[in-house]
Amino acid sequence: MTTESLPQPILLVEDNPVDLDLTQRAFARRRFGNPVQVARDGAEALDYIARWESGDPLPAVILLDIKLPKVNGLEVLRQIKAHERFRMIPVVMLTSSGENVDLRTAYELGANSYIVKPVDFGKFMEVAEQIELFWCVLNRAPR
């Protein structure tokens, strides 16, 4: 099977242009080679469900911000984790909020991990590297 060797994309759901640019740059500095798909709000993220249903490759991991325009990240998470087929896609919350209520709600809704975005860009690059190493290289998710 040749599909096995194709790297799965990472779906990045991020509305803030600075955060989006920095996250893409952080991933670009590491060369694991997973393409990064972008959704700029919650509604765009949910549009991906229809694309996956029509055969688009599933992402290795979804990186999901919480505070998003239109549909917030926790609602996106709820809908993905309620989906019969796509709930097994790993979802990593990547957000500025370290508030306990967000953490708890995210895990209750089935988030696979919760990472608070570091302000220090050096640490942010380490986070990007760890995410990609763990969720795209070490971890095996069903396709």
Partner 1 sequence: MSEKRSKPGREAARIVAGFAGFSLLWIFVSDRLILGLAGADADLLSMMQSWKGALYLLVVSIVLYIIIRRVLERQNTSEAALSALNADLEKRVTERTAQLESANRELEAFSYSVSHDLKAPLRGVDGYSQILLLDYSERLDDEGRLLLGNIRSGVAQMHALIEDMLAYSRIERRALEVREIQLDSIAAQLIGQRDVDPGAHSVRISCALEGVVARVDRDGFALALRNLLENALKFSRGQEDPRIDIGAEDRGDRVLLFVRDNGIGFDMQYHDRIFDIFQRLHRAEDYPGTGVGLALVKKAVNRMGGRVWAESALGEGATFYMELPK
Give the residues lining the site for partner 1 (CB under 8 A). 16, 18-19, 22, 25, 66-67, 95-99, 117-122, 124
59, 36 Cβ separation under 8 angstroms:
no
Comparison of 14 and 59: residue with beta carbon closer to partner 1: 14
**Interatomic CA distance for residues 58 and 85, integer angstroms:** 11
When the beta carbons of 34 and 95 are compared against partner 1, the nearer one is: 95
User: Which CB atom, from 4 or from 120, has the smaller least distance to partner 1?
Assistant: 120
Q: Decide: 37 and 12 in contact? Cβ < 8 Å.
A: yes
Three-state DSSP at 56 gives coil
Nearest distance from residue 44's CB to partner 1, in Å? 19
Rounded Cα distance between 115 and 139, Å, is 17
User: CB of 2: closest distance to partner 1 in angstroms?
Assistant: 36
| Min dist. Cβ of residue 136 to partner 1 (A) | 22
